[in-house]
Amino acid sequence: MSNIKMITLNVKGINHIIKGCKILSSLKKDRVQIALLQETHLTDSEHLKLKRDWVGQIYYSSFNSKSRGIVILIHKNLPFTLNTIVRDTDGRFILITGLLYGEQILLEVFMHQILLIDCFIQTFWQKPPLCVRITVCNPHVKDFIFFSHPHFSFSRIDYMFVSRSVLDRTRGCLINTCAFSDHSSVSMGLLPPYYDPLSRHWRLNPAPLSDPEFVKYLENQWELFLSTNELPGVSASTLWEVGKAFLRGSIIAFTSAKKKSTLTKQLVLERDITNLEREVSADTTELYRYKLNFKPIVASIKNDLNRWFDRPLSWMGRISLIKMNVLPRILYPIQMLALSVRLRRDSESDRH
């Protein structure tokens, strides 16, 4: 029985068409069925444009194209029936209730999730029948969702609250890799009350036909099939029907292998990003931050100064190079990182 995969993510604006397409494609690849997105920075008309591809139902609360914005995306194959919807006119929260697999459910998304959910619980329930799923699933894991560069601090600001009546049907709650935003997404699986199988029909994806390697592979497979099965006693109709099944299997094998190879590379990159995030969160000393951020910049500046040393430049030209090239490269990390930089004389830099 497949789980209902839900995900919450602070996207920090998806009004750029490329970023929006990448996020929707990533959600489709991960087989997300309910997506709760915050900080969309979209208007009402722009929110409606998200209803494409795998998205069947969309519920949103807008403010303007510069800030706030909440949206709930529901997969087109999910049998959800809406009953009521409550939304904020300032784009801070949205609340929907409805039927999913015959059960009454409540979905909520808040901009400042912890505070507003606590207030909501205390207002509507005297004894809150909710628990934080991410804490229940990972009681001993120290992981974070957001990293503040100016303050060099880590925090958890997104949580999954579930009812205790369905706590035994939840399947894992994970903090995923930070890929499209400065926030990491939180995903959770929910087991439906009964199995609802879907009839699947195979269709040819025309995109691989533009790949010369794929076309060459099909030609070789078809020649192999004809050389093996084109016999005197076999009719043309039988040969064609069997050939279609053979080609379909060959196409599935090729695309699956290529998809697996691409996914493996992506997982390696995501694992590297996750390891780096954990390494940074584990070592928060100033020396580590200096080595990670300043040493590469200082080395690059030294290389540039060595290259410019023998150039026939005037004093004003050298001053302009420092102002336009060197200073902007060191001002940004100094402003963004809370470091006490100790100044020392560097003979190699001073002589330039």
> How confident is the model over 19-49, as pLDDT tens digits?
888 889 889 888 899 998 988 989 888 898 8
* Distance (Å, whole) CA 259 – CA 267: 12
Decide: 184 and 12 in contact? Cβ < 8 Å.
no
Domain end marker among 282, 307, 335: 282
Q: What pLDDT, in 10s, does the model give residues 250-263? A: 999 999 999 889 88
pLDDT at 116: 35
Q: Is 194 inside a domain boundary?
A: no
Q: Are both 90 and 181 inside the same structural domain?
A: yes
pLDDT band at 287; cut points 50, 70, 90: low
Same domain, 44 and 138: yes
From CA 40, how far away is CA 260, in angstroms rounded?
A: 31
The reply to whether 114 and 244 lie within a common domain is no
| Residue 98 φ then ψ, to 5° | 180, -170
pLDDT of residue 113: 45
Instruction: Give the separation between CA 127 and CA 117, rounded to whole angstroms.
Output: 14
E strand or H helix that includes residue 188: strand 186-190
Confidence of residue 196 (pLDDT cuts 50, 70, 90): low
Residue 233 falls inside a structural domain: yes
Kindly state the percentage of the chain with pLDDT values over 90. 12
305 pLDDT band (50/70/90 cuts)?
Answer: confident
Residue 170: give its domain's CATH number: 3.60.10.10
- For residue 198, tell me if it sits in a domain: no
What is residue 266's predicted lDDT score, i.e. its pLDDT? Answer: 84
Q: Say whether pLDDT at 111 is over 90.
A: no
Domains of the chain: total: 3
Residue 199: pLDDT band with limits 50, 70, 90: low
Q: How confident is the model at residue 114 (pLDDT cuts 50, 70, 90)?
A: very low
Q: Are residues 258 and 308 in the same domain?
A: no
Stronger pLDDT, 217 or 202, i.e. the higher one: 217
**What Rg, from alpha-carbon coordinates, does the chain have?**
28
Is it the case that residue 58 has pLDDT exceeding 90? yes
Angle of CA points 60, 109, 2, to nearest 5°:
95
User: For 138-152, what is the mean pLDDT?
Assistant: 68
Using pLDDT thresholds of 50, 70 and 90, give the confidence band for residue 124: very low
pLDDT in tens, 329-339: 877 777 665 55
How many helices and strands (H and E) does the chain possess?
11, 13
pLDDT of residue 221: 92
Phi and psi of 58, rounded to 5°? -140, 130
The pLDDT assigned to 347 comes to 47
User: What is the distance between the alpha carbons of residues 113 and 183, in angstroms, rounded to a whole number?
Assistant: 14
Residue 220 has pLDDT above 60, yes or no: yes
Give residue 331's domain range. Answer: 286-350
What pLDDT, on a 0 to 100 scale, did the predictor assign at position 301? 85
Give a yes or no: residue 103 inside a domain.
yes
pLDDT for residue 348: 46
Average pLDDT of the chain? 78
CA 70/CA 43 separation, integer angstroms: 10
Shared domain for 87 and 124, answered yes or no, is: yes
Q: Is 13 part of any domain?
A: yes
CA–CA separation, 33 vs 5, rounded Å?
5
Domain boundary among 237, 261, 282: 282
Are 144 and 293 in a shared domain? no
Pairing mode of beta strands 4-10, 34-38? parallel
- pLDDT for 136 equals 55
90 plus 226 within the same structural domain: no
Alpha helices in the chain (DSSP H): 17-29, 44-48, 113-124, 133-137, 212-229, 236-282, 286-289, 295-309, 315-321, 327-336, 347-350
Q: Are 11 and 57 in the same domain? A: yes
Q: In this structure, are 89 and 167 located in the same domain?
A: yes
| Residue 195 counted as domain residue | no
In a domain, 143, yes or no: yes
Confidence band, pLDDT 50/70/90 cuts, at residue 119? very low
User: With contact defined as beta carbons under 8 Å apart, do 352 and 165 qualify?
Assistant: no
pLDDT tier, 133 (very low <50, low <70, confident <90, very high otherwise) = low
Domain check: are 167 and 305 in the same one?
Answer: no
Q: Is residue 120 over pLDDT 70?
A: no
Per-residue pLDDT for 127 more than 70?
no
Q: Are residues 30 and 173 in the same domain?
A: yes
Domain co-membership, 266 together with 305 = no
Q: Is residue 309 one of the residues assigned to a domain?
A: yes
6 within 8 A of 185, measured Cβ to Cβ = no
Considering 189, 216, 243, which residue would you say is the last residue of a domain?
Answer: 189
